[in-house]
Structure 1
């Protein structure tokens, strides 16, 4: 990319700091009030560090410390850092779901960058919704930005096997419910499985999204894969701080390199990783912020014939630490480079192809098989299946690589739950009328109905079936599922039931047919019967009367549209405060 170096007078922060008038006098005065010397901010780019650290976000517990490394890099490169705390979306603690606040974080990020004298930004996050939220806001503000991923947590071991968060939690829970794990062992697992700060160490939504963002060009090469507690992570943070200063002088803002080809690079990466189904929603939303129209069918088209190469749970058998030892994302990108647009520019100022070439010319890891070659994939079933039919006119998704092969084509009787509360009250009853062929259905879990589309989609297997050895069933909902989870779960059914989608009309006993290869999801009812039932349907009332959640319910789009607010999509030249 041809570089156009900015002059000091062209920096955005100079509008606040340079003029010889009373208002700018006050700006300079107040900065000096904090102990800064005039020389420290008058002749340097001002870099905002958007940090989603929180004492209640274990994935980000180390980011307060890592921000100091970012500052060190910024100062070394001649910039002036200012840390700006933003809402922390720790997936486990935030209720009802962090998804409802993803757009809140995006709005906060955009407005922080818009309202303050910021020339460029370092975005610090990693837990599921922080990555898309931060990037969506930064894309809309369109200032130079670089993403610093929090990094995955360390592995643990149990009975000689590597274990981590998410996937193993679900596996051990099923065994605990079935009576195969005693409480002392369960308590021991609780204290050991997540033994250090960092994001889930499976290929859940966190590592899926940070990897997609890296493939789109927003991180330093290899940044995604570095474990949170590795010394290399601190060095990466410092390097990112150094690089953002160069990006400001080069005016390397998202609108200069983010385009359809970079989005498609992210999709190819998503498929090769065996990534989380949540990424379908987030990628559509990110693309929309960058004026790149994207649909579920586009994702399916780009991802077609891309096998899963990352041998990482839940599609594989290893964890993110093993993925890092195998070369991390640069090694994976090297393996699928024939499917990538290698001429896409990244935050390094060089192309994705050049970054991959540098990795290939270095010391490549030997003897590590957490990343498979194209001719020996983990799974050829793919990371995302898009389904349509009379039960999902606007689409639904499934993760074939983490589902049971024998259920990819299935017909069974529906057992319908109208709410998560009803499901939790009934699912483990010994009198529940259910067998292994039953299709479990949960409605009321969509963006409007829940609200916020929580991760309820991995419906629990009834206790009496667990005891009989059943470990998977077809499950359908308008909710999402944790990217760390697995099973034959149909998710994101659109339109959702609360919006009057067909999911609202089915009843216990209706026959449902799933055919993943054909891309079909249907209830065996005639159009006339569905129409009759629709006449009796009434939209649920909106229980939210105030605040952000009311705004969310009134403005959020459906899952197939990315669950964004339509008034936030697209690049926009930052609208400066009225004093300018």
Structure 2
């Protein structure tokens, strides 16, 4: 075991490490000849979704001790979706790098990955994949459902809806505050099928957590039992030398893509799954998602595309039950962390509420949730969550109203003199990986207060940014290449006609080639946001959305060999 290379290194090197571990009150028998398990925790006081992790760490430790291992906690960057600025996405790659280096630089034989809040899941998986040791994921679990005035509230989705009513004057400030507070009843991640629940579900479908763990509510006693079981299982995985590369295959990745469509998963999942796959040496493209979109319908009836929440999903049977519904679309021979196949793990699972998890012949939406658009405005692709869009806007042509930055958007959106109607196409530039920076969740552009008061609740909105997985509307996202590196989105001007044809998978700027070429010659790249530090590294090395937004020097399979231990 690699841990013993540290503790039993020849001469003073090994003596020093044994002496220092005893300093913490352990005896030689506690760690000698046993698998050392690193518990990679993304807990912090600012990541309220993970507020229960201190107890879950103890649950994991209990399982590791019971199985004859030696647990050691390694705290990592928290990457809180709510508090990290300018955006948590800027720090996903930071977490991935930190996880990889923490594993490589410490005497651990296997790791338990503790995450859940949006970027922590892909960041941890990316880092562990590159580090190459056995790993098991412990998802944070979703918070309890919210309630206000007899209505059930979903995190994010319900507050976006209420915010529109508040801005339109239909809710006063006190009511808005009451509803907001009522929507967050406990620790845990967003309880809608937002990015957090999508990514933990996809990790479940990939076989990287205990089967069905992704839907257990954060504060349920079952969650603690799951964490302890994961602690026991990782010790066994070390003895079996069962690694991520043994578990995840091209078939596993395809299963995750199919599952994503059936869940009506977050648009962010495309970026993260591509990045995760590439770390494991598996090629995945936007076209793979688009093909899957026509293969399987949406059968998961959760907000924002449906009406229920993660708590309902869990008690309806959770992911294992959903996978039985779409089983004929999946490769059931893929492996899981249990050492058993996916087919073996979902055998016997049942759907207990067929409105939450719909049968194939009664879907929430007849086709997959996410589609890829291409055209003169998005040569390398853009994403639309059609299951959360307005059907009457899926084929729409309208004049552009352009905002050059997020600051410009908020300065002018409610200006009474803004020349905008319900038929306009709202365009936000410089919201991409380099331009924002970090590709924030700005894609669900706010509708002008004047139009909200008229009853407008959706418009075609286009950007090179992302949107929260809890968001909804006819929002075209991830336009690639982004505007700040010279993509066509940066050439759009007020009044230009833009055509969205969701059925034809097209997004086009209806401006003649000569005019576009003149604009391209006149275009100037904006000044970089960062001159030093991690921000400068990010801006210089981040890939575009269609390539997973990983760093160019990390987006590949393979591990760096352990250095000689001293």
Q: Structure 2 length as normaliser, TM-score? A: 0.99
Q: CA deviation at 1:191?
A: 2.2
Q: Aligned partners of 1:524 and 1:107: how far apart in 2? A: 42
Q: Deviations over 1:440-463 (max 9, x none)?
A: 000000000001000000000110
2:106 pairs with 1:116: yes
For each residue in 1:27-64, what CA deviation from the matched residue of structure 2 results, as whole angstroms up to 9, or x when unmatched?
Answer: 11111111110000012100000000010111111111
Give 1:517's aligned residue: 503
- Aligned mate of 1:226, from 216, 228, 252: 216
Structure 1 residues without counterparts, runs of 5 or longer: 1-10
What per-residue deviation string (whole Å, max 9, x for no partner) do you get for residues 166-215 of structure 1? 00110000000111112221121132210100000000000000000110
What displacement does 1:338 show? Answer: 0.6
**Matched ranges for 1:9-408 at <5 A:** 11-357=1-347, 359-360=348-349, 364=350, 366-367=352-353, 369-408=355-394
Query: Partner of 1:309: helix, strand, or coil?
Result: coil
Deviation at 1:528, TM superposition (A): 1.9
Q: Per-residue displacement from partner, 1:456-487 (whole Å, max 9, x unpaired)? A: 00000110000000000000000000000000
Give the drift of 1:293: 1.1
User: Is 1:461 aligned to 2:451, yes or no?
Assistant: no
Q: Does 1:541 align with 2:531?
A: no
Structure 2: distance between partners of 1:133 and 1:367: 33
Alpha-carbon contact 1:255-1:571 (below 8 Å) kept: no
Change over 3 Å in CA distance of 1:366–1:395 after alignment to 2: closer
Task: Using the TM superposition, give the Cα deviation of residue 368 of structure 1 relative to its aligned residue in structure 2, in angstroms.
Answer: 5.2
Q: Deviations over 1:545-578 (max 9, x none)?
A: 1100100000000001100012112332442123
What is the rounded CA distance, in whole Å, between the counterparts of 1:286 and 1:367 in structure 2? 32
Which ranges of structure 2 fall in alignment gaps of 5 or more residues? none
User: Counterparts in 2 of 1:475-494, with a 5 A limit?
Assistant: 475-494=461-480
Structure 1 runs of 4+ off > 3 angstroms?
364-368
Classify the secondary structure of the residue corresponding to 1:111: helix
Q: Bigger shift: 555-564 or 183-192?
A: 183-192
Number of the residue aligned with 1:428: 414
Pairs aligned (count)? 566
Deviations 1:369-404 (A, max 9, x none): 211011100012421110000000000000000000
Q: Deviations over 1:121-152 (max 9, x none)?
A: 00000010000000000000111000000000
What do the CA deviations read for 1:259-286 (whole angstroms, capped 9, x no partner)?
1111111101110000000001001000
CA-to-aligned-CA distance 1:298-336 (integer Å, 9 cap, x gap): 121233221111100000011111111100100111111
C-alpha distance in structure 1 between counterparts of 2:560 and 2:108, whole Å: 11
Question: Alpha carbons of 1:366 and 1:262: their partners in 2 closer, same or farther (altered >3 Å)?
Answer: closer
Q: Which piece of structure 1 moves more, 367-376 or 135-144?
A: 367-376
Asked if 2 retains the 8 angstrom alpha-carbon contact of 1:141 and 1:571, the reply is: no
2:111 is paired with a residue of what secondary structure? strand
CA distance in 1, matches of 2:32, 2:173: 62
Q: Secondary structure at the match of 2:382?
A: strand
Give, in whole Å, the separation in 1 of the partners of 2:528 and 2:352.
57
SS of the residue aligned with 1:388? strand
Which residue of 384, 400, 404 corresponds with 1:418?
404
Q: Distance in 2 between matches of 1:266 and 1:571?
A: 19
2:496, 2:366 → 1: CA distance? 32
Aligned residue in 2 for 1:446: 432
Distance in 2 (CA, whole Å) between partners of 1:529 and 1:185 is 50
State the SS of the aligned residue for 1:16. Answer: helix
**Distance (Å, rounded) in 1 between the aligned partners of 2:346 and 2:535:** 43
Aligned-residue offset at 1:86: 0.4
Instruction: Using the TM superposition, give the Cα deviation of residue 365 of structure 1 relative to its aligned residue in structure 2, in angstroms.
Output: 5.2
Structure 1, 541-550 or 475-484: larger mean CA deviation: 541-550
Instruction: Report the TM-score, using the length of structure 1 for normalisation.
Output: 0.96
